[in-house]
């Protein structure tokens, strides 16, 4: 029989050998879920292509190689001209360069929109959950009004409302697109953070912090918020594919990112217009958009498993 | 229902009126200021915004949706005319998504360690990469360009193609089959993934194990024990599915040239056609409200605990 160890009052309890901490533990769980790893690989690949791809493509996304198009007598199909591996559109713009630029656009919009979402949703949810009372009622009523209506309808409305204004032209529509997406999509995050705050409020550490007189705002910032970071991270990663979908739909409708910048949605729209003369144009942006959606969806699944202990228990169930 | 409609109409009204531009100056066209003033007076646009909203609301309650500012004519008549096509393709797409998505998810969960189950999982993942506009664009490749007719309430005789002729099939494909496929793909995948997740959760519950050990037949376990309990979590994504269908209808109607509510929504925003936009928004809000009510009623039908107020839908395990 093992010798019983007596723990003294002032002796620290045995620390697990390697404590990875909250984030380390989550990362470990993410890397153990097949969906998470697959998603991570796809997302990292797309990010790399977006970041360093332009360095390897001799054509900027906006440059028109008119000589080649005139020499060929029309838009160049893929695998014909080694200078344009995916071919060109009617104006001689390199399709590969444009799809890569589309990746940049999609990732930028998705990430910045999520920043806007966090910047609005977290404070609103935190304030509603923490303050309670009239603040909560007012904020949540407002959230409900925006939240019950399908997101994209309002996003389309905002984008269409600002289209052709100077603000819109400032960044080829990028700026207004992520403002529009962010301004509407924060609702889910706000609800989530409020729910988290409400349940965390009941916990002993918060009660203790109150008892020793920590200012209310400090408790919300220093004690509640860090404990809600897991669900917020999951919400952000689940929100990214939704933002990419919203951006490409907007650009497809001509309300999102504008020429000369390329967006996968806009490229698909161009593809439809040129179906009879250059049917190959439609495939690269469709495949890229599909890959990004699948990658981020898988990553979101992995994140959910990584941050939700209930889900990971479920995963171990499955292994039995 | 009333708060949703009121809220959505206030938000739409605010966004559109705060936005630059007016129904009279689109596409850089400049009208004589005197004419603009006259038009504004005619449509009541010279009033302060809150008053304008109240006037709109008053008329709306009396059933008067006003006159379109860009198409001319009564907005109510336009709505009724375009509601049909949209409801038909949305309804069909919803049916396809549910009837294929739920079994797909069920197979993916029940057989998740076999090739069939893996294939179902992969299939539903591929569907996640299929937003309506991309599928619609792809499907355009499959149909030869043909003079397209869309007349759900009967075409003029000259436009009706000979039944079972080539033109008839092409017409059928373009006006019904393809829009429905394009709109159904993403919701189908969502439903399948959700079904898989909630069935997997229940698959390991004690009562399902008990049912197995009692020697119940698999069909009965699935029908009575699995699906009834998995239905609640599946129902919770009703709102997401509805949103996908509504926005899908906007892009799909544009691609296939269907004159429905989605096209009307898009055009009325672009043209700052305030009256039409408000009407379409109200219709969407009504659809959302009705769908929410249907989901709530279905909760009660599926789970008597919710009907009797013992638990809420959110508290059901796996929800």
Neighbours of B301 (CB within 10 A): 10
From A149, A161, A286, residue closest to B16, measured CB to CB: A161
**Cis peptide preceding B155, ω within 30 of 0:** no
The residue written with tokens 């929800």 in the block is B319
Rg (CA), chain B: 24
* Chain B residue nearest residue A295, CA to CA: B129
Which of B 243-282 lie inside 8 A of A, CB atoms? 243, 246-247, 250-251, 254-255, 265-266, 269-270, 277, 281
Q: Are A106 and A118 in contact (CB under 8 A)?
A: no
Maximum separation of any 2 CA atoms in chain A, in Å: 88
pLDDT of residue B141 exceeding 80, the answer is no
ipTM score of complex: 0.81
Identify which of A22-26, A89-93, A249-253, B65-69 has the greatest average pLDDT: A249-253
Model confidence at A317, pLDDT cuts 50, 70, 90, reads very low
State residue A294's pLDDT score: 92
> By a Cβ cutoff of 8 Å, what residues of chain A touch chain B?
144-146, 148-154, 156-158, 160-165, 241, 245, 248-249, 252-253, 265, 268-269, 271-272, 275-276, 279, 282, 286, 289-291, 293-294, 297-298, 314, 317-318
Give the mean pLDDT of chain A: 80
Chain A residues in contact with B20 by the CB 8 A cut-off are 161-162, 165
Rounded Cα distance between A116 and A8, Å, is 50
Q: Model confidence at A8, in pLDDT bands (50, 70, 90)?
A: low
Task: Give tens-digit pLDDT for A264-286.
Answer: 988 888 888 887 777 788 888 99
Report the distance separating Cα A216 and Cα A203, nearest Å: 15
What are the CA-CA distances from residue A300 to residues A37, A297, A303, B236 (Å)? 11, 5, 5, 19
Convert the pLDDT of each residue in B109-139 to its tens digit: 888 888 888 888 888 888 888 888 888 888 8
Check A153 against B265: CB less than 8 A apart: yes
Residue B177 pLDDT greater than 80, yes or no: yes
Which chain B residues are closer than 8 Å to A317 by Cβ?
Answer: 204
pLDDT single digits (tens) B182-206: 899 999 998 998 888 888 888 878 8
Q: How far apart are CA A242 and CA A246, in angstroms?
A: 6
Angle between helices B238-256 and B178-203 (to 10 degrees): 160
Most confident of the following: B18-27, B35-44, B230-239, B260-269 = B260-269
| pLDDT mean across residues, chain B | 79
Return phi, psi of residue B151, to 5°.
-145, 85
**Lowest-confidence pick of A95-104, A217-226, B301-310:** B301-310
pLDDT tens-digit readout, A41-51: 999 999 998 88
Helical residues (DSSP H) of B19-74, grouped into ranges: 33-43, 49-61
Portion 48-77 of B in contact with A at CB < 8 A: none
Phi/psi of residue A99, nearest 5 degrees: -65, -40
Q: Above pLDDT 70, what percent of chain B?
A: 83
The percent helix, strand, coil of chain A (3-state, each to 5) is: 75, 0, 25
Q: Write out A236-247 in H/E/C secondary structure.
A: HHHHHHHHHHHH
- Average the pLDDT over B84-100 and give the result: 88
């Amino acid at each position: 029989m093992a010798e019983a160890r007596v723990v003294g009052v002032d002796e620290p309890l045995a620390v697990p050998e390697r404590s990875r901490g909250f984030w380390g533990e989550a990362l470990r769980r993410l890397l153990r879920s097949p969906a998470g790893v697959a998603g991570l690989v796809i997302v990292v690949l797309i990010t790399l292509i977006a970041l360093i791809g332009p360095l390897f493509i001799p054509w900027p996304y906006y440059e028109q190689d008119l000589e080649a198009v005139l020499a060929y007598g029309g838009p160049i199909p893929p695998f014909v001209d080694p200078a344009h591996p995916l071919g060109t559109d009617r104006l001689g713009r390199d399709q590969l360069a444009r799809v890569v630029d589309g990746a940049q656009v999609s990732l930028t919009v998705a990430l910045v929109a999520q920043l806007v979402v966090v910047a609005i949703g977290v404070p609103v949810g935190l304030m509603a959950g923490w303050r309670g009372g009239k603040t909560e009622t007012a904020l949540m009523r407002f959230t409900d009004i925006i939240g019950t209506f399908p997101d994209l309808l309002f996003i389309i409305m905002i984008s269409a409302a600002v289209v052709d204004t100077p603000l819109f032209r400032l960044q080829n529509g990028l700026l207004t697109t992520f403002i529009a997406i962010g301004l509407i999509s924060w609702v889910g995050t706000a609800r989530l953070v409020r729910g988290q705050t409400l349940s965390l409020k009941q916990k002993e550490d918060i009660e203790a912090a109150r008892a020793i007189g920590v200012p209310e705002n400090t408790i919300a910032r220093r004690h509640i918020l860090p404990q809600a970071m897991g669900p917020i991270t999951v919400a952000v990663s689940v929100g990214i594919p939704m933002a990419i979908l919203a951006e490409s739909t907007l650009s497809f409708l001509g309300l999102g990112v504008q020429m000369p910048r390329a967006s996968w949605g806009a490229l698909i729209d161009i593809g439809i217009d040129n179906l009879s003369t250059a049917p190959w144009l439609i495939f690269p942006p469709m495949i890229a958009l599909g890959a990004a959606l699948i990658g981020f969806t898988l990553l979101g699944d992995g994140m959910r498993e990584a941050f939700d202990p209930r889900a990971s228990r479920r995963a171990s169930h499955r292994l039995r | 229902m009333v708060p949703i409609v009121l809220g959505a109409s206030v938000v739409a009204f605010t966004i559109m009126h705060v936005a630059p531009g007016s129904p009279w100056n689109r596409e850089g066209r400049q009208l004589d200021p005197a004419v603009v003033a006259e038009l504004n007076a005619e449509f009541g646009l010279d009033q302060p915004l809150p008053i304008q909203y109240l006037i709109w609301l008053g008329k709306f309650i009396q059933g008067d949706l006003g006159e379109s500012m860009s198409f001319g004519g009564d907005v109510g008549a336009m709505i009724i005319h375009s509601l049909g096509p949209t409801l038909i393709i949305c309804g069909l797409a919803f049916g396809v998504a549910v009837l294929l998505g739920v079994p797909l998810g069920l197979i993916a969960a029940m057989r998740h360690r076999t090739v069939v189950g893996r294939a179902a999982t992969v299939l539903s993942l591929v569907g996640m990469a299929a937003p309506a506009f991309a599928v619609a664009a792809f499907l355009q490749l499959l149909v030869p360009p043909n003079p397209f007719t869309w007349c759900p309430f009967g075409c003029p005789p000259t436009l009706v193609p000979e039944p079972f002729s080539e033109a008839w099939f092409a017409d059928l494909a373009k006006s019904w089959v393809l829009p429905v496929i394009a709109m159904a793909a993403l919701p189908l995948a969502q439903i399948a993934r959700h079904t898989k997740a909630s069935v997997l959760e229940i698959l390991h519950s004690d009562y399902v194990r008990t049912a197995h050990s009692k020697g119940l037949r698999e069909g009965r376990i699935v029908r009575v024990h699995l699906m009834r309990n998995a239905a609640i979590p599946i129902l919770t994504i009703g709102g997401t599915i509805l949103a996908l269908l509504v926005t899908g209808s906007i892009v799909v109607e544009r691609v296939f040239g269907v004159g429905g509510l989605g096209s009307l929504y898009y055009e009325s925003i672009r043209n700052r056609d305030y009256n039409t936009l408000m009407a379409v928004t109200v219709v969407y809000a009504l659809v959302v409200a009705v769908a929410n009510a249907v989901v709530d009623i279905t909760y009660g039908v599926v789970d008597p605990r919710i009907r009797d107020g013992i638990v809420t839908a959110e508290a059901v395990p796996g929800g």
